[in-house]
């Protein structure tokens, strides 16, 4: 029997196995344990490794990729607004899918507009602006940049953590609500709203609002979302229009 093999021709594993493939980070003086654990998780996250290889600015790119693969809202010709777009991974996915660079012959050319509080490195095929979407007139400014209304408003935003669970919960809910009302102002009828929400989906009042204003609402956790994360995403499709527009249409129908 040859050295290093068990009877039957099976190779001996030498006792090391797959565990040795995992990168372990040593604690450093002055660095908190939570930071060390975060760094270790990043280095061993297959989506982080894949993002570097594929040239995306973060693992979040795969979340919107997986959501669009399932719900098909980033179509050629679509006009997309990405709220809180830094570092830009969602925009990177949207650009080729809506044909923002016109590389798909015979297909409509879309637009990708990203806004964020901080400056963003340029993204090929996307128009990025430093803007607080909560500021007065932000919705009008976005429509001017787009040259009309959007077909998709998407958001992967998360409120800054305070370390207090109850406070953070309220901040997240408030941010989602603000993004939703912004979408009401800029979306075309039939448009789509995609946003990060809480583990149970949107809060009950917000869920009811979504179902009233959109024809189809789904709460989903894409595979790229970490299993230990409480995040999910809402995908609301078939925007019914602004309430005043809907009311006007109903009155016209009654007449």
Domain ranges of the chain: 30-59, 60-249
The CATH number of the domain covering residues in 60-249: 3.40.50.150
pLDDT, average across residues 27-56: 62
Band of residue 15 on the pLDDT scale cut at 50, 70, 90 = very low
User: Running DSSP on this structure, what letter comes out for residue 130?
Assistant: E
Q: Is 60 exceeded by the pLDDT of residue 36?
A: no
Number of H helices, E strands in the chain: 8, 9
156 known ligand binder:
yes
Annotated catalytic residue within 6, 70, 196, 216:
196
88 known ligand binder:
yes
Among 10-19, 84-93, 104-113, 210-219, which is the least confidently predicted range? 10-19
Q: Is 233 helix (H, G, I), strand (E, B) or coil?
A: strand
Q: Is 80 exceeded by the pLDDT of residue 37?
A: no
| Cα→Cα distances 88→14, 130, 235, Å | 44, 13, 20
151 known ligand binder:
no
Active site annotation includes 196: yes
Band of residue 33 on the pLDDT scale cut at 50, 70, 90 = very low
pLDDT, average across residues 43-58: 78
For residues 247 and 214, what is the distance between their CA atoms, to the nearest angstrom? 15
| Cα→Cα distances 13→6, 17, 19, 23, 44, Å | 10, 6, 12, 19, 22
CA neighbor of 183 nearest in space, from 61, 67, 46, 82: 82
pLDDT of residue 17: 42
Q: Is 90 exceeded by the pLDDT of residue 43?
A: no
Q: Which residue has the higher pLDDT, 245 or 166?
A: 166
pLDDT of residue 102: 97
Q: Are 85 and 91 in contact (CB under 8 A)?
A: yes
pLDDT of residue 120: 93
84 known ligand binder:
no
Q: What are phi and psi of 193, to 5 degrees?
A: -120, 125
């Amino acid at each position: 029997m040859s050295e290093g093999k068990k009877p039957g021709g099976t190779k001996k594993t030498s006792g090391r196995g797959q565990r040795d493939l995992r990168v372990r980070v040593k604690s450093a003086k002055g660095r908190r344990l939570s930071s060390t654990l975060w760094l270790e998780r990043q280095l061993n996250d297959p989506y982080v490794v894949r993002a570097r290889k594929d040239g995306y600015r973060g693992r979040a790119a795969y979340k919107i990729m997986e959501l669009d693969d399932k719900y098909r809202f980033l179509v050629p010709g679509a006009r997309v607004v990405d709220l809180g777009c830094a570092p830009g991974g969602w925009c990177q996915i949207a650009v080729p899918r809506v044909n923002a660079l016109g590389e798909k012959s015979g297909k409509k050319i879309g637009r990708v507009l990203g806004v964020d509080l901080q400056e963003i490195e340029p993204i090929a095929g996307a128009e990025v602006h430093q803007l607080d979407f909560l500021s007065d007139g932000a919705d009008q400014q976005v429509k001017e940049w787009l040259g009309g209304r959007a077909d998709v408003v998407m958001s992967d935003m998360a409120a800054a953590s305070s370390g207090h669970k109850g406070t953070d919960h309220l901040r997240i809910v408030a941010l989602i609500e603000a993004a939703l009302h912004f979408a009401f102002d800029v979306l075309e009828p039939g448009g789509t709203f995609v946003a990060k929400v809480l583990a149970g989906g949107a809060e009950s009042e917000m869920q009811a609002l979504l179902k009233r204003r959109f024809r189809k609402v789904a709460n989903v956790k894409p595979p790229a979302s970490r299993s230990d994360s409480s995040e999910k995403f809402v995908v609301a499709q078939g925007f019914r229009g602004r309430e005043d527009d809907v009311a006007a249409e109903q009155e016209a129908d009654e007449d």
